[in-house]
Amino acid sequence: MNEYVYGIDIGGTNIKLGLFTLPGMKMIDVKEVETPRQNQETSIFEKIGSIILEMNQVNGIEFKQVKGVGAAVPCPVKNGHVDKCPNLKWNKLDIIFAFNKVLPDHVRVAVSNDATLAAYGENQILEKPYKNAVFYTLGTGVGGGIIINGEILEGATGLGGEIGHMRVFDGATETCGCGSQGCLEQICGTSGILNYTKELSLSSTSSIDFKNLSVKSVFDAAKAGDKVGLQVINRVAEYIAISASIIAVILDPDVFIIGGGISKAGSFLVDLISQHYQKHARFSSYKVPFLLASTGNDAGIIGAAYLIRKQI
Amino acid sequence: MNEYVYGIDIGGTNIKLGLFTLPGMKMIDVKEVETPRQNQETSIFEKIGSIILEMNQVNGIEFKQVKGVGAAVPCPVKNGHVDKCPNLKWNKLDIIFAFNKVLPDHVRVAVSNDATLAAYGENQILEKPYKNAVFYTLGTGVGGGIIINGEILEGATGLGGEIGHMRVFDGATETCGCGSQGCLEQICGTSGILNYTKELSLSSTSSIDFKNLSVKSVFDAAKAGDKVGLQVINRVAEYIAISASIIAVILDPDVFIIGGGISKAGSFLVDLISQHYQKHARFSSYKVPFLLASTGNDAGIIGAAYLIRKQI
């Protein structure tokens, strides 16, 4: 009897489900649905339950063949408990209990933070996963995930790997979404990038199309040699490098891996980060390499599937 | 037959040896000797071998009762190998091999960084050791040690916990001993404290005795309400707090513990750090408590002894 696990990435907009074989972890089906808006403490899990049933049928699988479900959630989570999830209307919710209500008893459930699981997934698909790795997920916000001794670092309250909120600069004039100032995300998140682009364009000419301004257009302009674009991306790369130099004297990881939407800029960005890192790294930590993530949008479901595979 | 381990703290000036009972870990003897200056790659180990023999005799112990030796060294170390030790003339030295040459075959050896082992020792003597803890050792330099899941975090190259070299400020005009700029140690190490005291005294009157200026005199003045002293110590406390706020969004530890020579200032310093930390902490990490270390100068030998006890 073939056995399977599901990896599920629960986002504020969409829920993505992947069906994986055991033990080979081949993804044989994937489905994406809209996140229900009402009664999210129950509706999200009911919807996932019904989609799993549907995917089981489409793939000719009986529920007894499904050994577990791994879930990635967009907020800090500790031992399956979420205190508060800003992107979903969840308050003091026991995610494992919520899943148990819509799944047969034999199905094991594991849950962790989405950026952390993206990191874990990214690492697990490597031929030889790193023992100690730090992952950046660069998108609207700046997230992260940390693997120590092959294990996800969740931290005392589930905040482990929230590297977007490292204080990396003095004299901030604006406040970050987290309520503090000087956060990495204020420079390297989407708003930081677009605002700095607009600011520089007041005093410099630029080929960037400001009517359709996006992070991608800034990167494209930078790659084409546009002065404003280059200055913006250079600042992003330098602050990622500064934050990495700090992480290196704390954790001294084997590798930094850059993922998330912005990482689509590819080796152009990673090369720039590496150059700045050489300047800022302390002691022997200049040797720590930077790699580009390769799982793309599936990192969350892959990580979630690997998490539950490990626990069953 | 009673069994024992030695915990040894190898410093640039002195070597300290503690003799501990197994499994109770009671320290029954302690001895401190000067670090040999010549041929340190062999002489240090020969001297330790002869002191152990002497301590065995004094305490009526035969060598077969000594199960292991734990050693703390003042430099990054990885799997027992030291690449370079600035305080001792060691280059690419295998510490375990060097010990094996002066100890009987049955004696197991373990080695780690001194600040890390001080952290480990400090944690192990607690009634219930923390699972995840970050230790600051504030002295001439600023060191640190990190415990994750009850294990010492050594890192890929032995740099784990070198938190004195976190970049915590912009626009540095001086270079740190590590060759970089903006390090925590530049503000919170002895030089940083004394230089800032002198700088402030140019424009403020102060009760500090500048002829016998020391970190202790600055702290004493601050405690007595001296304006310059207070300003200096306040800056130290704020930057420790800033660095802790950064570590909290990376590791999310259960506790911060403040040790090292400067920590003799006691709760005065820890209270100030806690106050600043409340301002700088992100999300739920404001809850992480700060404690004062309690093992004092014996933290290194205690940590080294616990390290080897764990490995035998």
Mean pLDDT for A251-255 is: 97
Amino acid A295: pLDDT: 84
Amino acid B157: pLDDT: 84
> What domains are there in chain A, each with its CATH number?
3-121+298-311 (3.30.420.40), 129-293 (3.30.420.40)
Query: Tens digits of per-residue pLDDT, A287-312?
Result: 999 999 988 789 999 999 999 999 99
Amino acid B240: pLDDT: 98
| Residue whose token pair is 């390769």 | A294
Q: How confident is the model at residue A263 (pLDDT cuts 50, 70, 90)?
A: confident
Contact across the interface for B284 and A76, Cβ inside 8 Å:
yes
- Residues 133..172 of B with a Cβ closer than 8 Å to A: which? 146, 148-149, 151, 153-171
Q: Which amino acid is at B278?
A: Q
Strand partners, A33: A15
Amino acid A278: pLDDT: 98
Amino acid A216: pLDDT: 94
Query: How confident is the prediction for chain A on average, in pLDDT?
Result: 94
DSSP B35: P
Amino acid A261: pLDDT: 83
Contact across the interface for A285 and B159, Cβ inside 8 Å:
yes
Q: How far is B169 from chain A (nearest CA, A)?
A: 7
- CB < 8 Å to A160, chain B: 250-252
Report the distance separating Cα B138 and Cα B160, nearest Å: 17
Strand partners, B6: B19, B69
Amino acid A265: pLDDT: 86
Q: How far is A53 from chain B (nearest CA, A)?
A: 37
Query: Tens digits of per-residue pLDDT, A69-119?
Result: 999 999 889 999 999 887 899 999 999 999 999 999 999 999 999 999 999
**Percent of chain A surpassing pLDDT 70:** 100
Query: Tens digits of per-residue pLDDT, A222-250?
Result: 999 999 999 999 999 999 999 999 999 99
- CB < 8 Å to B253, chain A: 155-156
Amino acid A249: pLDDT: 96
- Residues 15..54 of B with a Cβ closer than 8 Å to A: which? none
- CB < 8 Å to A253, chain B: 155-156
CB-nearest to A169 from B155, B170, B179 is B170
For B287, which residue in chain A has the nearest alpha carbon?
A157
ipTM at complex level: 0.91
Contacts of B212 (CB under 8 A, 6+ apart): none
Amino acid B86: pLDDT: 78
- CB < 8 Å to B167, chain A: 168, 242, 245-246, 280
pLDDT along chain B (312 residues), means of 10: 96 95 97 96 97 98 97 92 89 96 97 93 92 93 93 89 96 92 96 96 92 94 96 98 98 95 88 98 94 89 97 92
Q: How many CA atoms lie within 13 A of B245 on its CB side?
A: 29
For B78, which residue in chain A has the nearest alpha carbon?
A252
Residue A171's φ and ψ, nearest 5 degrees, are: 65, 35
- CB < 8 Å to B247, chain A: 250
| Global confidence as pTM | 0.92
Report the distance separating Cα A171 and Cα A181, nearest Å: 8
Amino acid A96: pLDDT: 97
Convert chain A into a string of H (helix), E (strand) and C (coil).
CCEEEEEEEECCCEEEEEEEEECCCCEEEEEEEECCCCCHHHHHHHHHHHHHHHHHHHCCCCHHHEEEEEEEECCCCECCEEEEECCCCEEEEEHHHHHHCCCCCCCEEEEEEHHHHHHHHHHHCCCCCCCCEEEEEECCCEEEEEEECCEECCCCCCCCCCHHHCECCCCCCCCCCCCCCCEHHHHHCHHHHHHHHHHHHCCCCCCCCHHHCCHHHHHHHHHCCCHHHHHHHHHHHHHHHHHHHHHHHHHCCCEEEEECHHHHHCHHHHHHHHHHHHHHCCHHHHHCCEEECCCHHHHHHHHHHHHHHHHC
Higher-confidence position of B233 and A139: B233
